[in-house]
């Protein structure tokens, strides 16, 4: 009966074992996972846009090959994640429709423009760095298919982060104009990167329950702090300044103190009113419509094969 099933579910989570697709789970647990995994998948797919714009304009064949591979990885991550959402009974067409109609979210970070080639480096270093910080703990998430998808995603994200840092390292040792481009990109991406971790804990409606279910293993503020601590020494090595006058090492806490991100801006960007929201969604919509014939052909092909095996 349901009481027994619920007890088994709670025991599984408490013992740090994984919940698998065929196991009984509370409806709210399922809904929370679909929400988070779908958003995550949408972020990977929309996230191809800011950097994808630079593939044709990369300054060398080497940079073009690296960037191309990286953007393709993001598509792959989106596909694993849609696959993980499908194990919960979600329908991929339905998730896509919800994204295009603005009923499901994607990460705020991808609503900012990638203005120069230095932005490609900074997206790798800071944005993928923040993504790793958030996603490494998700490898231990209580839902099996999500946790396992995260293992591969995180390995690829580490490569993305390294390529961004290496690009910036090269530019920082180039001309004065290149160094200025790097600093300008860092100035523009620093605060939005901190916002990726979500609202502060006191204003995060989902955190408490998601942490109790061990979907999330750390709170938004804990991960934000971890990211700042990890990034400051990397910025020093690179010779760039992080644009926060309040940033300093706090000996007593054993962490860096830092300023408060503009959470009103985060709310606006999540609400659809960021610098590139309209452009990102319009482009995703056009790509979906342009791809309709491929989906139709795939369905027709599958139906014909199924008929043939019926005979």
Residues that bind ligand ACO (CB under 6 A): 35-36, 39-40, 43-44, 47, 105, 107-108, 131, 134, 195-199, 204-207, 210, 216, 220, 270
> Quick one: DSSP state of residue 25?
-
Degrees, nearest 5: CA angle 255-261-262: 165
Min dist. Cβ of residue 143 to ligand ACO (A): 12
Measured from the CB of residue 104, what is the shortest distance to ligand ACO in angstroms? 8
Q: How far is the CB of 32 from ligand ACO (least distance, A)?
A: 8
- Min CB(106)–ligand ACO separation in Å: 7
Nearer to ligand ACO, 116 or 274 (CB): 274
133: phi > 0 → left, psi -120 to 50 → alpha, else beta; which?
A: alpha
CB hemisphere CA count around 145 (13 angstroms): 19
Torsion, CA 127, CA 130, CA 131, CA 132, rounded to 10: 130
Angle at the Cα of 93 (from 92 to 98), degrees rounded to 5?
Answer: 95
- CA dist., res. 239 & res. 7, Å (int): 54
* Cβ-based nearer residue to ligand ACO, 18 or 35: 35
Nearest to ligand ACO of 47, 145 (CB atom): 47
The distance of closest approach from Cβ of residue 79 to ligand ACO in the complex, given in angstroms and rounded to an integer, is 13
Q: Which residues pair with 256 in a beta bridge?
A: 249
Nearer to ligand ACO, 94 or 236 (CB): 94
Q: Helix 27-46 crosses helix 92-100 at what angle (to 10 degrees)?
A: 60
Q: How far apart are CA 37 and CA 31, in angstroms?
A: 10
Of 105 and 288, nearer to ligand ACO (C-beta) is 105
Least distance in angstroms from the C-beta of 240 to ligand ACO: 21
Question: Of the two residues 132 and 172, which places its CB atom closer to ligand ACO in the complex?
Answer: 132
């Amino acid at each position: 009966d349901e009481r027994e099933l619920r007890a088994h579910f709670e025991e599984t989570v408490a013992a740090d074992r994984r919940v698998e697709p065929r196991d009984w789970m509370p409806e709210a647990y399922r809904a929370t996972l679909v929400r988070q995994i779908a958003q995550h998948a949408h972020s990977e797919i929309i996230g191809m846009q800011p950097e994808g714009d630079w593939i044709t304009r990369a300054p060398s064949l080497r940079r073009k090959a690296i960037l191309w591979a990286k953007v393709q990885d993001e598509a792959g991550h989106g596909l694993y994640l849609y696959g993980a959402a499908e194990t919960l009974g979600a329908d991929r067409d339905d998730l896509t429709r919800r994204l295009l109609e603005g009923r499901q979210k994607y990460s705020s970070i991808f609503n900012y423009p990638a203005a120069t080639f230095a932005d490609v480096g900074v997206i790798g270093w800071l944005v993928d760095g923040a993504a790793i910080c958030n996603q490494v703990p998700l490898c231990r998430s209580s839902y099996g298919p999500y946790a396992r998808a995260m293992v591969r995603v995180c390995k690829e994200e580490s490569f993305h982060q390294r390529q961004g840092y290496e690009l910036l390292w090269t530019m920082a040792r180039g001309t004065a104009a290149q160094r200025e481009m790097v600093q300008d990109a860092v100035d523009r991406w620093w605060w939005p990167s901190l916002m990726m971790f979500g609202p502060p804990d006191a204003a995060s409606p989902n955190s408490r329950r998601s942490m109790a279910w061990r979907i999330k293993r750390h709170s938004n503020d804990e991960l934000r702090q971890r990211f700042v601590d990890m990034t400051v020494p990397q910025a020093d090595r690179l010779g760039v300044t992080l644009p926060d006058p309040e940033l300093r090492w706090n000996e007593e806490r054993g962490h860096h103190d830092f300023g408060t991100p503009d959470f009103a801006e985060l709310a606006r960007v999540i609400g659809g009113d960021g610098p590139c929201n309209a452009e990102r969604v319009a482009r995703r919509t056009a790509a979906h419509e342009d791809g309709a014939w491929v989906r139709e052909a795939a369905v027709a092909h599958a139906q014909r094969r199924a008929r043939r095996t019926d005979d």
